[in-house]
């Protein structure tokens, strides 16, 4: 009978009403075989109770097949919607996994390859959402110019249906994290680049810090808007840090920077020298995590808080509300008045820090984000030297 069952595709029928109806009281298999043979020859449908038996037997198999198909459609190679080929810049959570967007998850599930800053951290992230077996390629600050990334992009260019995702350890790639060079190369090769927006510590801190972007005029009314100046991580070397902060102090803006806990106090002390000690700041700590905190006060108060009261812990985003003087007006920057331009004091500070006239002029033009002409700034640096101010 085993041979007969294999020939006719019969499974062993279990006990019960339908089984007895098919086999008879004596448990003879002949009736089932006969009916199956009759169906194949005459195309007649089996009896209703045996139809129910067949459906019940095949239901789990069909359910499994439907579930697999749903998985393929919802979370497979192309996700719920077909993913267009190209490079996807995907933002990932900065501390709370619930911040992962559906779009980001669909792209990561459907990607052929994922470029990531640290493969170990990305594996943990994907595993938390049940995504496994992805091809991961390391892409970080120290290997971002590697030829293997160009080879991968060339492959993507030749196969426009291929999907490659770019993620960083946390947050949005290219925002103070590796990614911009890869995006530039992709665009140069004519590869379509897609953005999948999401968590970003800079934007999160700015939205909840409570710092107004309005700058007051002499009468106390809000006459102009402060720019938002994102600087990323500040330089570690003291000399470079001082130059950067002096240049920042000349720009009326809300300055936003990332600070590691072991660097916080040192950089706050450097800020006190570059800005006024009473300058208001906000320190956003452990954003979206369990111990999220927004601390506000002056630079002097912040130094006291994190040297006397407690030790800095967690990643910090620092926001500095700089309304004070400096090179704010483009008119002064372009020399429309006869008096020394407002950036003159900044130039003087840079030169006192040990920079030559040319170096100070170049640094100010690059950092200030104002419409400054290097030649005019250099001439002012020479004038400062001639006046004997340095």
The answer on pLDDT for 69 being more than 50 is no
Q: How does DSSP classify residue 4? A: H
* Span 86-137, pLDDT tens digits: 999 999 999 999 999 999 999 999 999 999 999 999 999 999 999 999 999 9
* Span 177-207, pLDDT tens digits: 888 899 999 999 999 999 999 999 999 999 9
Please check whether residue 284 is in contact with residue 207, taking contact to mean a CB–CB distance below 8 angstroms. no
Range in 67-76, 80-89, 285-294 with the lowest mean pLDDT: 67-76
The answer on pLDDT for 171 being more than 90 is yes
Alpha-carbon span 89 to 72, nearest angstrom: 23
* Span 27-62, pLDDT tens digits: 444 444 445 544 444 444 444 444 444 444 444 444
* 86-199 and 204-212+226-322 in the same fold: no
Predicted confidence at residue 49, as pLDDT, reads 47
Which residues 6+ apart lie within 8 Å of 74 measured at CB? Answer: 80
> Which of 157-166, 268-277, 360-369 is modeled with the greatest confidence?
157-166
The answer on pLDDT for 218 being more than 60 is no
Contacts 24+ apart (CB under 8 A), 354-358: 354/239, 355/243, 357/381, 357/382, 357/384, 357/385
Domain range annotation of the chain? 2-59, 86-199, 204-212+226-322, 330-386
Phi, psi of 205 (to 5 degrees): -65, -45
Span 341-349, average pLDDT: 77
pTM: 0.63
The answer on pLDDT for 302 being more than 70 is yes
Predicted confidence at residue 351, as pLDDT, reads 83
Span 20-26, average pLDDT: 42
Contacts 24+ apart (CB under 8 A), 350-357: 350/243, 350/246, 350/247, 351/381, 351/384, 351/385, 351/390, 352/390, 353/239, 353/242, 353/243, 353/246, 354/239, 355/243, 357/381, 357/382, 357/384, 357/385
Average pLDDT taken over every residue of the chain: 77
Predicted confidence at residue 358, as pLDDT, reads 86
Predicted confidence at residue 328, as pLDDT, reads 35
Span 360-369, average pLDDT: 78
Q: For residue 297, give the 3-state DSSP assignment.
A: strand
* Superfamily the domain 204-212+226-322 falls into: Tetrapyrrole methylase, C-terminal domain (3.30.950.10)
* CATH fold for domain 86-199: Cobalt-precorrin-4 Transmethylase; domain 1 (3.40.1010)
């Amino acid at each position: 009978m085993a041979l007969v069952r294999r020939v006719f595709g019969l499974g062993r029928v279990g006990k019960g009403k339908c089984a007895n109806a098919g086999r008879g009281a004596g448990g003879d298999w002949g009736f089932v075989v006969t009916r199956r043979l009759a169906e194949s020859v005459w195309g007649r449908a089996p009896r209703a109770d045996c139809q129910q038996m067949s459906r019940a037997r095949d239901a789990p198999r069909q359910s499994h097949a439907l579930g697999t198909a749903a998985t393929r459609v919802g979370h497979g190679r192309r996700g719920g919607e077909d993913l267009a080929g190209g490079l996807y810049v995907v933002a990932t959570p900065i501390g709370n996994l619930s911040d992962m967007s559906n779009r980001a998850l669909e792209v990561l599930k459907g990607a052929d390859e994922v470029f990531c800053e640290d493969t170990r951290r990305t594996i943990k992230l994907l595993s938390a959402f049940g995504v496994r077996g992805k091809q991961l390629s390391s892409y970080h600050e120290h290997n971002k110019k590697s030829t293997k990334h160009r080879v991968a992009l060339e492959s993507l260019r030749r196969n426009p249906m291929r999907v490659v995702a770019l993620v960083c350890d946390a947050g949005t790639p290219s925002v103070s994290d590796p990614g911009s060079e890869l995006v530039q190369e992709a665009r140069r090769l004519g590869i379509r680049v897609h953005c999948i927006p999401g968590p970003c510590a800079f934007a999160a801190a700015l939205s909840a810090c409570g710092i107004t972007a309005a700058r007051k005029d002499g009468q106390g009314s809000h006459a102009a808007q402060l720019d938002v100046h994102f600087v990323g991580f500040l330089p570690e070397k003291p000399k470079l840090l001082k130059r950067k902060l002096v240049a920042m102090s000349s720009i009326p803006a809300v300055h936003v920077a990332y600070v590691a806990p072991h660097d916080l106090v040192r950089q706050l002390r450097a800020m006190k020298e570059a800005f006024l000690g009473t300058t208001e700041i906000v320190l956003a700590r452990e954003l979206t995590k369990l111990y999220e905190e927004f601390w506000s006060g002056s630079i002097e108060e912040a130094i006291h808080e994190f040297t006397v009261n407690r030790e800095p812990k967690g990643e910090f985003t620092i926001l500095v509300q700089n309304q004070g003087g400096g090179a704010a007006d483009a008119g002064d920057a372009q020399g429309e008045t006869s008096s020394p331009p407002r950036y003159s004091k900044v130039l003087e500070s840079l030169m006192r820090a040990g920079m030559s006239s040319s170096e100070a002029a170049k640094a100010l033009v690059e950092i200030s984000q104002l419409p400054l002409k290097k030649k005019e700034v250099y001439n002012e640096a020479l004038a400062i030297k001639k006046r004997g101010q340095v």
